[in-house]
Amino acid sequence: MISKDLFAYVNWRLQQIRGSKKAFGGISVLAVGDFYQLPPLGKAKPLCVYEDDVLDFWKDSFQIITLTEIMRQKEDLAFAELLNRLRVRQKTDALREEDRVLLLQAVKNTEECPHDALHIFATNKEVHMHNTKTIQAIHTDIITIDAEDYRKDPRTGVMKRQKKPVTGKKDDLLDSIQVAVGARIMVTRNLDVEDGIVNGCFGQIVNIVTKTRDGIATVHMLGLQLDNPNAGLKHRRRVQGEDDNSVYIERSEESLRKGTVRRQFPIKLAYACTAHKVQGMTMQSAVVSLKKIFEPGMAYVALSRTTSLSGLHITDFVEKKIYADPEITASLENMRRATVEGIMPLLQHIREINQDQTLKIVHHNTEGLSSHIEDVRCHHELLLSDILCITESHLSGSCIPQHLQLEGYKMFARNRHASYSTNAEMAKKDGGGVAIFCKEDIQAQSRQYIQSVTDLEFVVIKIDTPMCATIAAVYRPPHYSLETFLPNLRGLLDYLDMMDKHPVIICGDFNEDLLCAGRKAILEMFQSKEYTQLITSATTEKHTLLDHIYISHPDLCLQSGVLQSYYSYHNPVYCILQK
């Protein structure tokens, strides 16, 4: 339902906030939805439908992934499959006979439909008629609440209440509302987003609080019982103390046209709603009228709200009202497709291999472990690794805080200040630091101090399972001179040559871009020691390859590549070894 104008505004606002001219300010945007459902309001076309004369921030920026697991109707597979076919049905397509038979099971006369189920109509007029009819049929103690409209008196300049409300527009607070204790209502404004009292939340009136002024009783507050039990916690116990769990709301105030200010309760009756309002909702039972359906996708949205066919009741069944927009079908067929394998390569490969015979190693420059430990914990692939090497941990002191531990891993860390024994200037700088997280079921021995390596940020561990190997994490700061760095790196490589655990895997951020022209002194040193560098794609936002994985026995590498990260300048790199 998002228009191209609104999408363009989101793009420009993010560019402004980020100070970047890249699309959406250079951040990753995940757009989730179904173009076969309701289009933007008015005559605007959906985002995926290209128009020559309209700003388009969709066509060149987005790729599509189709989700295939149905959640709402997962317990009624036949109904789910029926809805999938109705979702894409064109006006010219004949309705399959088996689909017609299923739909006709839900067709009822109005009198046969449950009165307490939400009724779904195409138009606001139908909704208003049903709401008015229902409250009058159910309740006798109905109270009409008129809006309080005020206008400035031109003589005194004082806001004066009008004798009766003016006629408001469709989206204004209502001119008048009929209420009763027990009446179903829907909130129509975002009153407290953090507290869950938002536009579209449903409930019923359980208390009507009046206040007498000048001998006239007026409704002061409405006590609501919201369908969401966690909503409105801050707005309870306002009338009857601790025993009162009603959510109390007062009148909202908004400006209308021509200087009129309106005060009215931001609710409306909700025995019925439009298809536009229920999009995204899930319910056990609903009554759907197809009589006034007027646009593609509307019938599908209305019919697909219930979790099962038995909960769906259709009145005014008109087969031709169920149709999709052919422009959407054509647009989705032409959209670029993204593969899950490309986005989550490590996850994909793990599903395809025998994990007992493999060792999964990931390196990631986190640009601060304290700042991003929750991001690491939530990353969809980092914690699939057996060995997780971290550079730029930014840790200090001799103790590792408990909140930086990862469940199921043991941690070996070496901070910057402990890494430089002859270069006092580097030791005093903030940042840097390396760490290795190793799965708890893997026996690991660490080596952090090597006599011939005096000024290098590194951690080395030796493991015996699931294979014998030596793993090292190394960080070279961007302004650390090669003439100082290379002798210490050579000292580390010489030491690792003498160790009895092979293969040797050395990963880290070396701040040497392997994608640019020119001599690669670090790469050359590794190659002189017969190491192979595994990563071939860019690892940073600026399309540089700074994060390397070197291995002494490349024949053991089953797979390697680059993962995705949203919180660091660097993307993680990985390799899978198989013995």
Number of Cβ atoms within 10 Å of the Cβ of 430: 9
- Distant-in-sequence, close-in-space partners of 481: CB < 8 Å, separation ≥ 6: none
Q: Is the pLDDT of residue 347 over 90?
A: no
Work out the average pLDDT over 235-244. 77
Q: Is the pLDDT of residue 291 over 90?
A: yes
pLDDT, position 530: 96
Mean pLDDT across the chain: 92
d(CA 306, CA 282) in angstroms, rounded, equals 6
Work out the average pLDDT over 499-523. 94
Q: Give percent of the chain above pLDDT 70.
A: 99
Q: Is the dihedral of CA 99, 100, 105, 106 positive or negative?
A: positive
Structure tokens at 78: 């036949």
pLDDT, position 240: 73
Work out the average pLDDT over 279-296. 94
Name the band, by pLDDT with cuts 50, 70 and 90, for residue 493: very high
Q: Are 268 and 135 in contact (CB under 8 A)?
A: no
Short-list 469, 488, 501, CA closest to 389: 469
Q: Cis bond leading into 466, ω under 30°?
A: yes
Residues 493-501: contacts with CB under 8 Å, at least 24 apart: 493/525, 493/526, 493/529, 494/452, 495/450, 495/452, 495/453, 496/460, 496/470, 496/472, 497/529, 499/462, 499/470, 501/462, 501/463, 501/464, 501/468, 501/469, 501/470
Q: Is the pLDDT of residue 75 over 90?
A: yes
Q: Give percent of the chain above pLDDT 90.
A: 78
Q: Is the pLDDT of residue 452 over 90?
A: no
Q: Which amino acid is at 398?
A: S
Name the band, by pLDDT with cuts 50, 70 and 90, for residue 217: confident
Q: Are 470 and 496 in contact (CB under 8 A)?
A: yes
Orientation of helix 482-498 relative to helix 521-528, angle to 10°: 20
What number of CA atoms fall less than 13 Å from residue 307's CA on the CB side?
Answer: 7
pLDDT, position 232: 92
Choice between 570 and 241, residue whose per-residue pLDDT is larger: 570
Name the band, by pLDDT with cuts 50, 70 and 90, for residue 399: confident
Choice between 399 and 21, residue whose per-residue pLDDT is larger: 21
Fold (CATH) for 342-578: Deoxyribonuclease I; Chain A (3.60.10)
Name the band, by pLDDT with cuts 50, 70 and 90, for residue 400: confident
Work out the average pLDDT over 142-155. 93
d(CA 205, CA 223) in angstroms, rounded, equals 6
pLDDT tens digits, one per residue of 85-143: 999 999 999 999 999 999 999 999 999 999 899 999 999 999 999 999 999 999 999 99
Structure tokens at 534: 């595994």
Work out the average pLDDT over 51-80. 91
What number of CA atoms fall less than 13 Å from residue 421's CA on the CB side?
Answer: 9
Q: Is the pLDDT of residue 354 over 80?
A: no
Number of Cβ atoms within 10 Å of the Cβ of 281: 16
Q: Are 121 and 292 in contact (CB under 8 A)?
A: yes
Choice between 24 and 501, residue whose per-residue pLDDT is larger: 24
What number of CA atoms fall less than 13 Å from residue 469's CA on the CB side?
Answer: 27
Structure tokens at 352: 């395809």
Orientation of helix 97-106 relative to helix 77-87, angle to 10°: 110
SS3 category, 511: coil
pLDDT, position 103: 96
Q: What is the pTM of this model?
A: 0.70
Choice between 235 and 529, residue whose per-residue pLDDT is larger: 529
Short-list 439, 543, 455, 552, CA closest to 506: 552
Q: Is the pLDDT of residue 346 over 90?
A: no
Q: Where in the chain is the domain with CATH 3.60.10.10?
A: 342-578
Name the band, by pLDDT with cuts 50, 70 and 90, for residue 552: very high
Name the band, by pLDDT with cuts 50, 70 and 90, for residue 344: confident
Name the band, by pLDDT with cuts 50, 70 and 90, for residue 2: confident
Q: Is the dihedral of CA 345, 348, 353, 358 positive or negative?
A: positive
pLDDT, position 307: 97
By mean pLDDT, which of 23-27, 240-244, 316-320, 342-346 is the weakest? 240-244
